[in-house]
Amino acid sequence: MSLWTGHLSRNPLHSIGVGTTNGRWHWDGGFRPGTGWIQAGYGIDLGTANTVVAGVDGTLLLNEPSVMAVRADGDRKGQLVAVGGAAKALVGRTPIGMATVRPLEDGVITDLQTARSFIVAILKRVHRHPWQVLPPQAVIGVPWGATELEKRALIEAVEEAGVGHVDLVPEPIAGALGSGLNPLETRARMVVDVGGGTAEVTAFCFGGILAARSCRTAGDEMTMALHQYLRVEHKMLIGELAAENLKMQLSRNGSGPRSLTAEGRDLASDRARTQELSVDELDAALRPVTDSIVQTLASCLQDMPAQAVADVMQDGVLVFGGGSLVGGFGHRLEEAFGFAVHQAERPLTCVAEGAAMCLRRPEIVKAFG
């Protein structure tokens, strides 16, 4: 589209009223004196659990759960009711006629239509510059195992949301970059990303991947483990959000009290009830999940060349993703492998920040894209 034709843009991002007065297009310009044409750029981490968007300069523009609430029946079936935090608050308490859905599974798109409406809603929130005329560009993190078909679906959904140019970068590389590592240097590095649906262990050096392994036991499985533990051992039913909350309290616990309280429903009497739980028993309930991440890391090390393993043993590994925050996780890895475990400074946002850095580092997209 020529910038000078003055036609109303078909770009859905412009449908928020930007650049129009009384429905008529007015020329708002895309040129700012001194800076020239401005093209917005976004680094996007579309996670199974959370979606994070960072701007070109690294500022966080959005950080919301990847959840939508939609109408489940009637004429307006599929219509969006709420996105992000507001939709997540409805999980486990969804009114009749509505449903909460996650647009991504294991970090990839399964249902194109759902993913599209989610991405459009997310990008509308961050795309606010009234002078913006050039469609924005974006770099998006994708799981290292994503197939060509899955990548294509993602690019299509984001382009349909009005983004002009889309590049993809593997999430582990973006997370490493966003945490200060240089994925182009010759020394081998290893990162462990514990997200909601999957935990991914990736080793890389000199712009290439050395080995990568993933497992489907990560943050959400930890929540499920606590839920199951309470059901089986304490005959008590708690909601998904309550179980997640318990897990988070555990990670904040540190040197705090050695017990936590869970609120839920007694399985036998169906009455509301509270239960005191020791930190040790909850740690033990999470153990099978952390064990399987330890196994995944061990397999990744086995796949690597000896010299690269030596680098990792010396430098340790970088961990990020929300699941890596669970109490004692770093310690568990140190105990199992004997190397240092470095927690990323911003474990929940470093992938989006690294993806945003790629907007200005095309050589990284070229090496890993």
Using CB under 6 A, list all residues that contact ligand ADP: 47-50, 195-197, 219-220, 223, 244, 247-248, 251, 321-323, 325-326, 348
Instruction: Kindly give the residue spans of alpha helices, DSSP state H, lying in the chain.
Output: 85-88, 112-126, 148-160, 171-178, 219-234, 240-253, 279-303, 306-315, 329-337, 350-358, 362-368
- Compare residues 333 and 348 and give the one whose CB is closer to Mg ion: 348
Residues 148 and 161: their CA atoms lie apart, in Å, by: 20
Q: Choose the binding region for Mg ion from 40-48, 61-69, 95-103, 245-253 (rule: CB under 5 A).
A: 40-48
For the CB of residue 37, give the shortest distance to ligand ADP in the complex, in Å: 33
Token pair for 191: 């990162």
Number of residues that bind Mg ion (CB under 5 A): 2
Residues 144 and 202: their CA atoms lie apart, in Å, by: 8
Residues 315 and 31: their CA atoms lie apart, in Å, by: 47
Residues 254 and 233: their CA atoms lie apart, in Å, by: 24
Three-state SS at 232: helix
43's contact among Mg ion, ligand ADP, none, with CB below 5 to 8 A by partner kind, is none
Q: Does 170 bind Mg ion (CB under 5 A)?
A: no
Candidate residues 19, 47, 136, 354; the one interacting with Mg ion per rule CB under 5 A: 47
For the CB of residue 113, give the shortest distance to Mg ion in the complex, in Å: 23
- Compare residues 9 and 63 and give the one whose CB is closer to ligand ADP: 63
Q: Choose the binding region for Mg ion from 42-50, 233-241, 243-251, 258-266 (rule: CB under 5 A).
A: 42-50
197's contact among ligand ADP, Mg ion, none, with CB below 5 to 8 A by partner kind, is ligand ADP
Q: What is the DSSP letter of 258?
A: S
The binding site for Mg ion (CB under 5 A) comprises 47, 195
